[in-house]
Copies of this chain bind each other. A is one copy, B any other.
Amino acid sequence: MSQVLVASNRGPVSFSLSEDGGLVMRRGGGGLVSGLAGVVGAAPDPGPPRFPGPGRGDPGVLWVCASLGDADRAAARRAPEGRLDLDGHDIGGAAVRMLDVPADTFHRAYNGVANSTLWFVHHLLFDTPRVPHFDARARRDWQSYEAYNAAFADALARDAAPGAKVAIQDYHLSLAPRMLRDRRPDLRIVHFSHTPWAPPDYYRLLPDDIGAQVLHGVLGADHAGFLTGRWAAAFLDCCERFLPGARVDRAAGTVTRAGHATRVGVHGLGVDGDALRRRAAEQDVVERARALRDQVGDRQLIVRIDRTELSKNIVRGLAAYRELLVNHPEWHGRVVHLAFAYPSRYDLSEYREYTAAVQRTAKQITDEFGTPDWDPLVLQVNDDYPRSLAAYRVADVLLVNPIRDGMNLVAKEGPVLSERGCALVLSREAGAAAELSGDALMVNPFDVSQTAETLHRALLMPRERRAERCARLAAAATALPPRRWFAGQLAALD
């Protein structure tokens, strides 16, 4: 088995400062950690996965990630060349190199380019009369993005064994595959996009050289992975339109340029049903589920769970709930909308404004319809993972209405945990739509009235039909667990 290197902005651990100034390590979860654990033969559940590290007689796993804040940076500096595992940190046995990217370089690359530019272009989020605005400052941000990608390429080039497989993740690192290939042509590189990909007529909002550089960067990989066929096709469209000399073969799913071929593949990502169900059976979740049931009583419960992300479309979702209450007063007192909108990207002014708009809209609904006996809407903004799992368990209707979304795992986790069978109201612009549209109730996320009527239909759906559909949704949601998703990417390199 080859050595496997993973590169991602956010690593499997992060640090914070304790009250006495010491470093406290926290292990993260997510599909990548779980996928990696499944592939490299880490110890099975329960508990956080353990990884084989280098020097245990196998080629091992090395994870390269960025320092996201000052505490991360302090931990990275203290460890020998950033190798946290060599500084007494147990990260499930994995070797982790945390890069000490200078704070201003990181800020410009992460906020200025990755989250404000590339995220926006792939999710169609620009307020075009105003942004993007590619001026001298944007150019400086872009140079930081190049430097940030180069830091990853340098670390990977230095650490990788000959012929190793390198899995580079997401839009933060779109240039790294090319940079790494230039440094180490012997490596086998996969790039995976967790976001959608912009259609050509929107992609061309980027400056020509930057747009071409991103495509060229991803094509440095031997394999470019996407979550659905729609995003893969958009990537091919962009290569064809914006890279002179690129030969796109749609039947073969390849892009060839300057003698190097990149295969484009679709690797859907679902949930690990067993692990998720086990977690949701723990005491903290059980208690919260009981509390939610007490709070809601015999009313039907519409649940949404999102980061407060511009693409998640929370304001229109709340507006749709309002329109439901206006058009169908028969639901007054008989339904509660539980909206979890967790903080996200508060460094960006657009997100602070959006969060305020969510809260304003929620307050309007409460003021307009609330009675002493009935809270029509409960908005929760403090992240509480066990409470989210509890909400999945007791939801009657799950609302997932993003403007555009690479996949959306809420739409998959909900049906898996639903106790009585929930109806899923799902945006057709989520990647998950490709797998779930047969049993979800589909909506156009910009169409508030249609969303309101679809919530109404979902509430009216007979319990048995809801349960049947939910069972099929859960089966589809667990058909592509993270280990399969990640194994598929690595296998594509053979």
Interface residues of A (CB under 8 A from B): 124-130, 132-136, 138-139, 199-202, 204-208, 234, 310-311, 313, 315-316, 319, 323, 326-327, 350, 354, 357, 403, 444, 446-450
4 nearest CB pairs, A to B: A127-B127, A199-B201, A135-B448, A129-B310
Q: Given A199-B199, A199-B201, A201-B201: A448 and B133 within 8 A (CB)?
A: yes
Given contacts A125-B129, A128-B403, contact A204 B323 (CB under 8 A): no
Nearest CB in chain B to that of A211: its residue: B444
Contacts of A204 in B (CB 8 A): 444
Q: 18 other contacts beyond A127-B127, A133-B319, A202-B202, with CB at 8 A cut-off? A: A124-B201, A126-B128, A128-B446, A129-B311, A129-B354, A130-B315, A133-B446, A133-B448, A134-B448, A135-B323, A136-B323, A138-B448, A199-B199, A201-B234, A205-B446, A208-B444, A208-B447, A208-B450
Question: Complex: how many Å from CA A400 to CA B125?
Answer: 25
Which residues of B are found within 8 Å of A134, using beta-carbon distances?
446-450
Q: Which residues of B contact A447 (CB under 8 A)?
A: 134, 207-208
Task: List residues of chain B with CB within 8 A of the CB of A207.
Answer: 444, 446-447, 449-450
What is the distance, in angstroms, from A455's C-beta to the closest C-beta of chain B? 13
Most buried by B among A130, A138, A327, A403: A130
The minimal Cβ–Cβ distance linking A184 to chain B, given in whole angstroms, is 33
**Residues in chain B near residue A206, CB distance under 8 A:** 446
Q: How far is the CB of A318 from chain B (nearest CB, A)?
A: 11
A-B pairs with beta carbons under 8 Å apart, 26 shown: A125-B128, A125-B129, A126-B128, A127-B129, A128-B403, A129-B311, A129-B350, A129-B354, A130-B357, A132-B446, A133-B316, A133-B448, A134-B447, A135-B319, A135-B323, A135-B449, A136-B323, A136-B326, A136-B449, A138-B448, A201-B201, A202-B202, A205-B446, A207-B450, A208-B444, A208-B450
Copies in the complex: 2
List of B residues within 8 angstroms of A139 by Cβ: 449
By a CB distance below 8 angstroms, the chain B residues around A199 are 199-202
Which one of A135, A205, A316, A357 has the greatest number of beta carbons of chain B within 10 Å? A135
Q: Which residues of B contact A125 (CB under 8 A)?
A: 128-129
Bound Cα distance from A132 to B136, whole angstroms: 31
Write the nearest CB–CB distance from A210 to chain B, whole angstroms: 9
Q: Could you say which residues of chain B place their CB within 8 Å of the CB of A128?
A: 124-127, 403, 446
What B residues does A316 contact at CB under 8 A?
Answer: 133
Q: How far is the CB of A138 from chain B (nearest CB, A)?
A: 7
Looking at the assembled complex, report how far the CB atom of A36 sits from the nearest CB atom of chain B, in whole angstroms.
33
Residues of B within 8 A of A205 (CB): 446
Q: CA of A444 to CA of B207 in the docked complex: distance in angstroms?
A: 7
Report B-chain residues with C-beta under 8 Å of the C-beta of A448: 133-135, 138
Q: Considering the chains assembled together, what is the distance between the CA atoms of A316 and B134 in angstroms?
A: 9
Contacting residues, chain B, for A202 (C-beta < 8 A): 124, 199, 201-202
Find the B residue at minimum CB distance from A450: B207
- List the B residue with the shortest CB-CB distance to A322: B135
Q: Which chain B residue shows the least CB distance to A201?
A: B199
- Contacts of A124 on B, CB cut-off 8 Å? 128, 201-202
Instruction: Give Cα A448 to B210, complex, Å.
Output: 13
CA distance A124 to B132 in the complex (A): 13
Of chain B, the residue at the smallest CB distance from A326 is B136
* C-alpha spacing A238/B23, complex, angstroms: 56
Smallest beta-carbon distance A209→chain B, Å: 9
Report the minimal beta-carbon distance from A249 to chain B, rounded to whole angstroms. 22
Cα(A110)–Cα(B447), bound, Å: 20
CA distance A205 to B316 in the complex (A): 13
Chain B residues with Cβ below 8 Å from A234 are 201
Report the separation of the CA atoms of residues A32 and B285 in the bound assembly, to the nearest whole angstrom: 68
**Chain B residues in 8 Å Cβ range of A126:** 128
Q: Is the CB of A403 within 8 A of B450?
A: no
Please report the C-alpha to C-alpha distance between residue A132 and residue B316 in the assembled complex, in whole angstroms.
10
Q: Is the CB of A129 within 8 A of B403?
A: yes
* B208 close to A327 (CB less than 8 A): no
**Residue on B nearest A404 in the bound complex, by CB:** B128
> Chain B residues near A357 (CB, 8 Å)?
130
- Please tell me which one of the listed residues B127, B350, B449 contacts residue A138 in the complex, with CB atoms under 8 A apart: B449
Closest residue of B by beta carbon distance from A319:
B135
